[in-house]
Amino acid sequence: MTTFKEIRGTDILALSSDPSNPELGQIWYNSSSGTLKGYKTVNAWSSGGNLNTGRFALAGAGTQTASLAFGGAVGLTNYTATELYNGSTWTSNPTGLGTGRYRLAGCGTQTAALGFGGYIQTGGTTGSTEKWNGSTWTSGGTLGTARYSLAGLGIQTAALAAGGANPASSATEKYNGTSWTTVNSMNTARTCYGVGTQTAALVFSGTPNGGGSNATELYNGTTWTTNPTTLNTNRGDMSGFGTQTAAIAAGGITPAPAATGATESFNGTTWTSTTSLTTARRGMAGSGTQPLGLVTGGSPVTNATEMWTGVGTKTITVS
């Protein structure tokens, strides 16, 4: 029989108590409790409640337990559908978007969100912006550069729009709750996904000229900086959630092309591959934080929701 020492080159230590600063992958025997323990990364996706209307290329806002999903499409049908999530169930709101569209951006909270840009299958690219007050959508102005598949982040009164297509764009605009103002452009023109705030933004992935991208850029409210470390999986049409220093990137489409369930976490400097989505897909809505987030919808067309619990590293009992 192969022993642990033969596999790892070390014996299992017998300790009277758990070490205060264990190394990732370390295993030990706790003689006080009579248990075998280890220190590992514990992150997981789990099934959440299904959307009432399955669709792809929709937008999201809010948190894991108070989320908003809106817009999207199935085939040649643009949706105005707006749904609210309480952590277990999606509820269709009687009032939908004023303009049905897909590949739009979203940001904000469940009671104060923003939806902007996108593509209308009978009208082309739009710069239309709509504001959500928890029950209804109202007009909120127009982007200076109409585009779709753009990054949207921040809050309703301090939002950021970056990148997009019509064609591939590096344009960046900031929103003050009423109007958009053009600011310094991104370094790489592309479609992309974004998280964070108007003064501490993160954008990643995309499709600059067909295929995918693994480029990552950070914004400080004035200037975009290309991050030396890129995503491990080159892709576009993905989703995510979090902040500039603690983000999750999930799903998307690889240059093959094929939908992927690949998931990566960002710590402000580097991306690390972690537990993949149960269902590989692209074009989902995302919302929440790195510890507690979700993605919903997507293509192949689905109404499925997956909820992310990012515990990080922890001591577990092996036996």
Does the pLDDT of residue 120 top 70, yes or no? yes
pLDDT in tens, 197-239: 999 999 999 886 556 789 999 999 999 999 999 999 999 999 9
Q: How many helices (H) and strands (E) does the chain have?
A: 1, 32
74/315: higher pLDDT: 74
Whole-angstrom distance, CA of residue 312 vs CA of residue 104: 31
Residue with tokens 């600063």: 21
Whole-angstrom distance, CA of residue 139 vs CA of residue 142: 9
Q: Please report which confidence band the pLDDT of residue 6 belongs to, taking 50, 70 and 90 as the band edges.
A: very low
SS3 6: helix
Predicted confidence at residue 246, as pLDDT, reads 96
Domains and CATH numbers, the chain: 4-42+313-317 (no CATH), 43-312 (2.120.10.80)
Does the pLDDT of residue 294 top 80, yes or no? yes
Whole-angstrom distance, CA of residue 169 vs CA of residue 129: 18
Q: What angle do CA 49, 51, 53 make, to 5 degrees?
A: 160
- The H-or-E segment that residue 240 falls in is strand 239-242
pLDDT in tens, 55-65: 999 999 999 99
Mean pLDDT to the nearest integer, 282-291: 97
42/170: higher pLDDT: 170
Q: Give just the sign of the alpha carbon dihedral 147, 151, 156, 159.
A: negative
Predicted confidence at residue 209, as pLDDT, reads 59
148/122: higher pLDDT: 148
- The H-or-E segment that residue 7 falls in is helix 4-8
pLDDT in tens, 167-200: 899 999 999 999 999 999 999 999 999 999 999 9
pLDDT in tens, 258-277: 899 999 999 999 999 999 99
